Amino acid sequence: MKRLTPIQWLICAIAAIGFAFDIYEILMLPLIVRPALLELTGAVPGSPEYQMWVGRLFYIPAFAGGIFGLLGGYLTDRFGRRRVLTYSILIYAIAAFLSGFATSIEMLLVLRCFVFVGVCVEFVAAVAWLAELFTEPKQREKVLGYTQAFSSLGGLLVATINGLAVKYALALPAIAAFGVVVQNPHAPWRYTLMSGVIPAIPLILIRPFLPESPIWLEKKRAGTLKRPSIAELFSPALRRTTIVTTIMFAMAYGAAFGAIQQIPQIVPGLPEVRQMTQGQPPPAARVIEQRIASDVTKVQEVGGLVGRTLLAVLAIHILSRRKLIRMFQIPGLIVVPIVFGYVATRDLQWLYVGMFFAGLFTVGQFSFWGNYLPRVYPVHLRGTGESFAANIGGRLIGTSFAWLTATLAVTSDRANAPAKVAFVAACVGFSVYLVGLIASFFLPEPPAEDPH
């Protein structure tokens, strides 16, 4: 296997940054949704209005991302991987920055939709781009595996940035520009949102040096590149692949959104956290809850990083894709319900341990799809096929489990609201893991040679 050239290292770097900030943007919402809703709506946690907006903020942007992400996959096949990759990163970075100036919950919702559109398109374009730039099988598995592992660094980074924003908010410049006046110009959640502009900076400098996919470009110039078609994804040769990957992608995202990302709603109910916030004024109590939720999220993302790295290693040595994905599904089916159904309401220290493993088994599955999907679709359908599984399955159907958890967890008893969220998350987590495991028995093994 040849060593990477300087331009290949540059390609890997920009892809890793893109993957990192994909998850950075997605995992940002659980950390900021509680303080953002308290400031923008004044709704009481656990109330119907509060849970309604939690569900909307989780699901409506994901719905928009799923629909436009599917279009982005089509555009990736029509106009090239590099061009679509570049514009998608710019869309979500700019929208993330402007989110920090939101003056209403509706404004925040619209900007989060733009963030998700960029994120959903970027993943598909980046995976297709890397798979076609690195054609040697073992090198491709390594590149896709290790660059996607940076997604978990993105999750760890957003938890760290949020923690720093909470700690140093009053020392940061007041948020005031474009004539916008906000209620709290030093709100930590606003600084956290605005930090999403970071990936646009290196991209603007590096873009001129990034090559297009040589396989796609060769077919385009030769006039042999077929027009992508969503209908073709359901042709007899691809129907089973499309349906099964969409279901499994949806279940993996269902575990993440319906359970793992609910942790900031659950943490305030832990006995240790209640003791820390007892007697504190509401603003001080919220800071404590945010800090602990951020710490738990960091541990979960470390687990996710370990899971993604483990998958990158195992993908090289385990030929059966079914066997590989089940190494994460079966333990997760056991761990996730225990963590949310029991540990998450009783002991903070054990929650750290439990969330590490919940992150490992759940987040590790996301990297599986980046390695698997490019091997089962031909070049002219690669972006479209990946986009259907990732965006219709993962972003559209999978993220709806956040809305489901929020809806089922509605309660008028504010004191027991965190416990109810935990119980619902446990049930949702177990259900989606079980469906995903059953679907894995129908997952087609990739062909020995990549389809062209």
Which tens digit of pLDDT belongs to each residue from 238-280?
Answer: 999 999 999 999 999 999 989 998 888 898 888 898 888 888 8
* CATH code, domain carrying 371: 1.20.1250.20
Q: No. of H helices and E strands in the chain? A: 17, 0
Q: Is residue 446 part of a domain?
A: no
282-290: average pLDDT: 81
- What pLDDT, on the 0 to 100 scale, is given for residue 280? 83
Predicted TM-score (pTM) of the model is 0.79
Q: Is residue 383 part of a domain?
A: yes
Does residue 119 register a pLDDT over 90? no
- Give residue 323's pLDDT band: very low, low, confident or very high (50, 70, 90): very high
Structural domain that includes position 262: 6-440
Does residue 431 register a pLDDT over 90? yes
Cα 323 vs. chain centroid, distance in angstroms? 24
Q: Is residue 237 part of a domain?
A: yes
Q: Is residue 445 part of a domain?
A: no
Q: Is residue 123 part of a domain?
A: yes
In degrees and rounded to multiples of 5, residue 229 shows phi and psi of: -145, 125
Q: Is residue 421 part of a domain?
A: yes
400-423: average pLDDT: 86
Q: Is residue 450 part of a domain?
A: no
Count the domains in the chain. 1
Find, among 76, 359, 394, the residue nearest to 247 by Cα: 394
Find, among 319, 381, 314, the residue nearest to 124 by Cα: 381
Task: Kindly report, residue by residue over 123-139, the tens digit of the pLDDT.
Answer: 788 888 888 888 787 78
